Amino acid sequence: MNAKKLVLLLLIASAVTLFVVLDASRFFSLAHLQRSHAALMEAYAREPLQVIATYFSLYLAVAALSMPGAVILTLAGGAVFGLGWGLLIVSFASSLGATVSFLLARYVLRDSLEARFAKRLAEINRGIAKDGALYLFTLRLIPLVPFFMVNLLMGLTRMKPLTFYAVSQLGMLAGTAVYVNAGTQLAQLVSLKDVLSPGLLGALVLLGVFPLVARGGVAWVQRRKVYASWLAAKPRKFDRNLIVIGAGAGGLVSAYIAAAVKAKVTLVESHKMGGDCLNYGCVPSKALIKSAKIAHHMRHASRYGLQDAPAVFSFKAVMQRIEAVIRAIEPHDSVARYTALGVDVVQGHAKIINPWTVEITLPDTSTQRLTTRSIIIAAGAQPGTPSLPGLDAVGALTSDTLWAAFAQLDALPQRIVVLGGGPIGCELAQSFARLGAQVTQVERAPRLLLNEDSEVSAFVRTALEADGVQVLTDHQALRCEKSDSNKTLWAMHQGQEIRIPFDALICAVGRTARLTGYGLEDLGLSTDRTIETNDYLQTLYPNIYAAGDVAGPYQFTHVAAHQAWYAAVNALFGSFKTFKVDYRVIPRATFTAPEVARVGLNEQEASAQGIAYEVTKYGIDDLDRALADSEAQGFVKVLTKPDKDHILGVTIVGTHAADVLAEYVLAMKHGLGLNKILGTIHTYPTLSEANKYAAGEWKKAHQPKALLEWVRRFHDWRRG
């Protein structure tokens, strides 16, 4: 806290102390007001403007400093000035005083509290930005809520002062009128309890609740308006409680939850159960990475005291192994398993006809219509392809199509170009290079993995180049050409066209949500990049939800499964209780060698958001297990609040980084700091010890040096 704030706080404390020491509260009692009433009326008759100014200033000070006495002053306003002028004067004095109190709390306390509770206050401020005026108005109408508490708490938020003043002026008017009117009948008052009878208090509470009820009514009218053109199509009875479109991670989890709580659920999949992750993404790519890693170890066996050997293998056998891995995992996501769980699984293409009806086109082209109370759209995403001239002519592949295409080959293509420097592009480029291909990776951005810190990008680039990948960043792909059997990609770099010959071209430039063909346009749902949803994953129609890649904002399998819980529970039980989807702690990983894993903020994100942070870094090259495994490369980088062990984010670069990250995910989820990690026993020798040593680095940097100096003197004294 700076000097100005400290001085202001001391002045406020002094004023309150004087109020108590001088027993000023005796002047703010009903009895004193009744005894002084005649004198006040005389003074007002002689010097009306002076009395009004003095009264206004006193009321302003009492309200601003949150001192007791506002109720008596309000009664005095009615007793001296009458109902009309009293209400006018008190209304402005109380609102301005409340606003000064609001600003004092903001100036003195908000910055320090935001530094300590940034995430919680950020969530509160999002709510304030959306509904703050309504909630403030409601609180102002209810006398049971202490007004000074409202002033202080609102001052800690990001509400605009003008909004606070205007809403307070309006919201406090009803309660102010009650007290001012009571003041006009001062002689008849025996105690303050006479002002607010139980009936009047109840009426004011109902008045306060009214905005919330009205808001619910408005929401009901809006829902009716959304459904207005479809009401004739709404069935009286429904075939299903829930229909889920898409059997990827989001759809499978949604259907599983519905079946587990005994709802009648239909899961519709037009292609393969398990979706992209099982068939084209996570599973086959990780199987490929493992085979490539073994080939790499064979060629570098001398690192482990063995003899280097050529990695002799059948590429067809490698691809057959990948297919075998998929088949081994398939039963987890199969029709048979989900049918046994109680899910009605239908193979076909689903189209939403109206908010309660889904039409399914079956493989034999026949159709089936089902009615349902709720729908979850979990159709996933597909690889995007750049609009390059000649791309189709050269037979470009994507991260989806390459598996089937390469499975037909007897040998790995010798020259492979990978378009894209994101996680998928980096994983594929390194794997095929380790298997022996000449791989060129083309990225138009100035570096790989643009969402990671620059040092992470540099680390990964060095690793890829060490494995033989030619990394061409800042290269804009222009066109593809094919002449006989020769294929070429032309790219622009620093004003010059670069020729890159290849045998196979893989596009890994991102994925786009599957939004067409499901009837979304006919329903008026937004189909720009993703389906627009609210905090509960509801679309424009409250009974239609979206989860996974179609909803965004993350394209991770584990996030799709995470969203699916919220979508399913809200769809089935939203009439009683709804749950906002929680994105606070989202882990991610890129499975290159070394791996890159992250949760929370990295440095570039914290800087962009203006969040103060401190960096603690531990080099894995010093870790015993990493040295024993000849994998001693990488680091653990932890971002914490300045001088606090509260974790803002963690980036790990190294072998098995995604596994090591799990401890930090747990810690951040449950608010555990680095001191807790340091105090946890980690098995020796394991890679997870890197987390303990990173926490130790933070502790070392925050040693209580003055205290340790006294401890040293104590030990010197003990030795005599």
Domain 240-383+513-573: give its CATH code.
3.50.50.60
Buried b or exposed e, range 517-530, using 16+ CB within 10 angstroms:
ebbbeebebebeeb
Instruction: Say how far apart CA 566 and CA 578 lie, in whole Å.
Output: 8
Reduce the DSSP state of residue 649 to 3 states and report it. Answer: strand
Asked if 527 and 441 count as a contact pair (C-beta separation under 8 A), the reply is no
CATH topology of domain 397-512: FAD/NAD(P)-binding domain (3.50.50)
- Nearest residue to 594 via CA among 652, 663, 639: 652
Antiparallel, parallel or unpaired: β 504-507 and 397-398: parallel
- What pLDDT was estimated at residue 563? 97
Expressed in percent and rounded to 5, the helix, strand and coil fractions of the chain are 55, 15, 30
- What pLDDT was estimated at residue 187? 52
Instruction: Say how far apart CA 559 and CA 249 lie, in whole Å.
Output: 9
Task: Map out the domains of the chain as residue ranges.
Answer: 3-212, 240-383+513-573, 397-512, 594-705
Give the residue carrying structure tokens 């219509």: 369
Asked if 523 and 540 count as a contact pair (C-beta separation under 8 A), the reply is yes
CA-CA distances (angstroms) from residue 686 to 253, 376, 628, 682, 691? 33, 42, 10, 8, 10
CA-CA distances (angstroms) from residue 73 to 56, 90, 150? 10, 8, 19
For the record, the structure tokens of 110 come out as 């908000």
- What pLDDT was estimated at residue 199? 47
CA-CA distances (angstroms) from residue 132 to 108, 167, 221, 236, 431? 21, 10, 21, 38, 52
Asked whether the domain spanning 397-512 has the same topology as the one spanning 240-383+513-573, the reply is yes
Instruction: Say how far apart CA 632 and CA 628 lie, in whole Å.
Output: 8
Q: Is the peptide bond before 594 cis (omega within 30 degrees of 0)?
A: yes
- Count H helices and E strands in the chain, helices first: 27, 22
Pick the CATH number of 594-705 from 3.40.190.10, 3.30.390.30, 2.102.10.10, 3.20.20.70: 3.30.390.30
Q: Pick out the chain residues at pLDDT < 50.
A: 199-201, 203-204
Instruction: Say how far apart CA 560 and CA 565 lie, in whole Å.
Output: 9
Asked if 95 and 169 count as a contact pair (C-beta separation under 8 A), the reply is yes
Antiparallel, parallel or unpaired: β 635-640 and 647-654: antiparallel
Q: pLDDT tens across 471-519, in order? A: 999 999 999 999 988 999 999 999 999 999 999 999 999 999 999 999 9
End-to-end, the C-alpha distance of the chain in Å comes to: 43
CA-CA distances (angstroms) from residue 491 to 162, 427, 433, 442, 469? 55, 22, 21, 8, 17
For the record, the structure tokens of 114 come out as 């935001």
Asked if 428 and 506 count as a contact pair (C-beta separation under 8 A), the reply is yes
Q: pLDDT tens across 326-375, in order? A: 999 999 999 999 999 999 999 999 999 999 999 999 999 999 999 999 99
CA-CA distances (angstroms) from residue 248 to 189, 252, 279, 402, 442? 71, 6, 10, 20, 30
Antiparallel, parallel or unpaired: β 595-600 and 397-398: unpaired
Q: Tell me the residue type at 653.
A: V
- What pLDDT was estimated at residue 200? 44
Asked if 47 and 151 count as a contact pair (C-beta separation under 8 A), the reply is no
